[in-house]
Structure 1
Amino acid sequence: MEPIPVAILGATGAVGQRFVQLLDHHPWFKVTTLCASDRSVGKTYAEGCRWLLDTPMPEWAREMVLQPTIAEVINEPIVFSALPADVAFDLEPALAQKGCVVCSNASAHRMDEDVPLILPEVNAEHVDLVHWQRQRRAWRGAIVTNPNCTSTGMTVVLKALDQIFGVKRVIAVSMQALSGAGYPGVASLDITDNVIPYIRGEEEKVSLEPRKMLGVLKDGQIKFHPVAISAQTNRVAVLDGHLVCLSVECDTRPTPEEALRALESFVTPDWLMDLPSTPKPPIVVRRENDRPQPRLDRMTGRGMSTVVGRVRADEVLDLKMVVLSHNTIRGAAGASIYNAELIVRKGLLP
């Protein structure tokens, strides 16, 4: 098919750069508009962006002129949003009203009743909420979101366990990479020789978002999963890759080996297997005592697979394990692109 034109909002930031990197040579999408803050508008992308990634800035992006972050300049059918939540709050609905499908990494509308919060291997069926969203809001476009970068990997794991054993209670302790704070992010004097045991708004997202994704869509409403999640979030001196230490109580208590088999056998729905961003496999289990590790395992499955290790019996609940996902790929830009591919597959572009 002809490449679908797409725009990137917040293109010069850490997640915006991931969008540019991951959309380079994408088989379905072609970037035709890059938007940035007022201080960069009118500059070329090479002039306005301090490139942070370990691959070269794509040549097609270098000379693209950065556009203002306003609805009037955006006409693409798909818009990828890496905006701060306060900016996204008003702009994303304006774009949906205009007829754009906004695939958003921002948190502004994740918990809206008619906005799907999607990880395709977990809850692809929730994308049908777009039909009700369009009816209720009388717009041709849509807003589709992906979850917080810490919620991502743990929700994939909880889905694999829930569909066999049921999940009742979860204790989640995160060790979150620096790139999750954007650029320039955390001051070096704050994070060097240190762990910061507070990230504003994170614990609330990690406690609630998985319940929406694990819930059931019926008659235009999502009934949240009843699992109770207690979350503590920490910033650590790692560049990329969020680790989450999970303890899980199940309806039917599995042995560690039964849980490992459930994780290893978890598969993406067949009708999604040929999407360009589908992780293969969605979950990779490491049986070594000291894995996963961010530096060694974050790029598993091109950064889209969730890596799980240290699956053991828990002395208080039923199971405990360590979960790793790449926060700016699977937990951000890659997740939004995957959702856009799902939208195209479902024929939901206006």
Structure 2
Amino acid sequence: MERRRVGILGATGTVGQRFVQLLERHPWFEVAWLAASDRSAGKTYRDACAWKLDTPMPQRVADMVLQPNTPGASETDLPRIIFAALDADVARDLEPRFAAAGCAVISNSSAFRMAADVPLVIPEVNGDHLGLIESQAVRGQSGGFIVTNPNCSAIGLVLALKPLEQRFGIESMFVSTMQAVSGAGYPGVASLDILGNVVPFIRNEEEKMQEEIGKLLGRYTGSAVESLPAKVSAHCNRVAVVEGHTECVSIKLRTPATHEQILDAWQSFRPLDGKQFPSAPDCPVIYTGAADRPQPRLDVNAGGGMSTTVGRLRPCTLLDWKFVLLSHNTLRGAAGAAVLNAEVLARSGKLPKDAA
């Protein structure tokens, strides 16, 4: 695979830092352009970024100068592959501008996730939805487009749901989340609000989960996505954990299934060849039989942080079955998800070339 120049919008934030970390040794992509807000533009990445990850800031990136958050009128140095880690309000304005400049905008923002012509994609779940980019008007005008990955709490859940939906169908579900503070970005939740506490409210999170699950598990018709008609009820809570969203799920299936059949559905779920995509885990869903797992401290980095770990499958007295799952919210739930989307786009030949 040809190594391609990429840029990062919102490079100094929590997800932007994850992009820098993941792309530093990526075999297909090389960070060549970084952008941030007006207050950071013109500074080196080292001076503008309060690095919070557990690996050193890459030296090459540390010396790069941050550019303004704009594609520019005639910006020939702008890479045509842009990873976007922007707040939704900012993304709503900027992402279409970069697409209009001929860029593939691979977004972690919620701004366009539910737009009818924008793919909301987890490659193992609904990679065929990438066909929606051909419906975007900007695609025919500039060659650019927007692709999104889901909310950090939806990704881990939908990875566990997809093999069950394929085999048995899903009628309804209830999910209660315990979400890590890193999901709020940096500085995130004030320490006096979260230490020794649980905050039973995350703005717009329940609505995002309930909407996005239907689109992710919906059927692509070739021109649109028909949403899965399952009923979803979500309760979202912020807890004093740094990384890893834990979710307790109860589910009603359309076709009855045994304990063994559900386990087999998860364990045989291998929709992507990990050898073909550098960021794809060998096992997207890992089941643990331990009575007290999964736990963030022990399981959050399963599959390089790209797998969902599921445990405690047991009968539910209200619906059919219940289980617990855990996923890494800034890797699988954010930057890693977008990088994997870019890898799939690269394999399919849909990424634009740099300007001559």
Give the TM bin, normalised by the shorter chain: over 0.9
Greater shift in the superposed pair: 316-325 or 250-259: 250-259
How far off is 1:276 after superposition? 0.7
TM-score scaled by length of structure 2: 0.96
Q: Secondary structure at the match of 2:79?
A: coil
1:27 aligns with 2:22: no
1:210 aligns with 2:244: no
Q: Secondary structure at the match of 2:50?
A: coil
Is the contact between residue 100 and residue 138 of structure 2 (CA under 8 Å) also seen in structure 1?
no
Equivalent position amino acid for 1:225 in 2? L
Q: Secondary structure at the match of 1:233?
A: strand
How far off is 1:67 after superposition? 1.0
Q: Secondary structure at the match of 1:35?
A: strand
| 2:174 aligns with one of 171, 176, 195 | 171
Is the contact between residue 4 and residue 77 of structure 1 (CA under 8 Å) also seen in structure 2?
no
How far off is 1:262 after superposition? 1.1
TM-score scaled by length of structure 1: 0.97
2 CA distance for matches of 1:153 and 1:307? 8
CA RMSD, 1 decimal:
1.3
How far off is 1:274 after superposition? 1.2
Q: Secondary structure at the match of 1:116?
A: coil
2 CA distance for matches of 1:66 and 1:135? 27
Q: Secondary structure at the match of 2:136?
A: helix
Off by >2 Å, runs of 4+ in structure 1: 134-139
Report Cα offsets for 1:218-249 as digits up to 9, x if no partner: 13110001111000000000000001111000
How far off is 1:40 after superposition? 1.3
Is the contact between residue 120 and residue 339 of structure 1 (CA under 8 Å) also seen in structure 2?
yes
What's the counterpart of residue 284 of structure 2?
Answer: 282
Q: Secondary structure at the match of 2:314?
A: strand
| 1:96 aligns with one of 90, 96, 99 | 99
2 CA distance for matches of 1:50 and 1:335? 23
Equivalent position amino acid for 2:19 in 1? F
What's the counterpart of residue 46 of structure 1?
Answer: 46
Unaligned 5+ residue runs, structure 1? Answer: none
What's the counterpart of residue 259 of structure 2?
Answer: 256
What's the counterpart of residue 306 of structure 1?
Answer: 308
Q: Secondary structure at the match of 1:309?
A: strand
| 2:146 aligns with one of 143, 146, 162 | 143
Q: Secondary structure at the match of 2:324?
A: strand
1:242 aligns with 2:245: yes
What's the counterpart of residue 269 of structure 2?
Answer: 266
| 2:226 aligns with one of 223, 228, 231 | 223
2 CA distance for matches of 1:287 and 1:99? 48
Q: Secondary structure at the match of 1:225?
A: coil
Equivalent position amino acid for 2:48 in 1? G
Unaligned 5+ residue runs, structure 2? Answer: none
Report Cα offsets for 1:279-323 as digits up to 9, x if no partner: 111111111001110111111111001110011111110110011
